[in-house]
Homo-oligomer: A and B are copies of this chain.
Amino acid sequence: MTKAVKPVAREARHYIRIKEQILADIAEGKLQPGDRVSSESELVAAFGVSRMTANRALRELMFEGILKRSAGIGTFVSPKHLDVDLLQIRNIADEILERGHKHKAAVVKAGLMKADANVADALELTLGAGVMHSLIVHLENDQPIQVEERYVNPLVAPDYLSTDFSSMTPNEYLTKVAPITAFEHVVQAVKPDPAIRKYLGLKNDHPCLRVFRRTWSGEAVVTCALLYYPGAQYRLEARSTKGPSKPVAILGEKL
Contact = CB atoms under 8 A, between A and B. Distances in A.
Interface residues of A, number: 69
Given A118-B249, A118-B255, A244 B182 contact: yes
A177 interface: no
B184 A243 contact: yes
B224 A251 contact: yes
A147 B100 CA distance: 37
Interface stretch (A32-40, A79-87, A138-146, A165-173): A79-87
Interface in A189-230: 189-191, 193, 195-196, 204-210, 212, 214, 216, 221, 224, 226, 229
Contact of A121 (B186, B249, B252): B249
A54 B214 CA distance: 30
Contacts of A185: 86, 236-239
A181 B189 CA distance: 28
Given A188-B250, A212-B250, A249-B118, A231 B243 contact: no
By DSSP majority rule, is chain A's interface helix, strand, loop, or mixed? Answer: mixed
A220 to B, nearest CB: 11
- Copy number in this complex? 2
A81 B236 CA distance: 19
Given A182-B241, A193-B255, A187 B209 contact: yes
A238 B88 CA distance: 10
A95 interface: no
Nearest to A250: B212
Contact of A187 (B119, B187, B193): B187
A188 B47 CA distance: 39
A14 to B, nearest CB: 15
Contacts of A229: 189
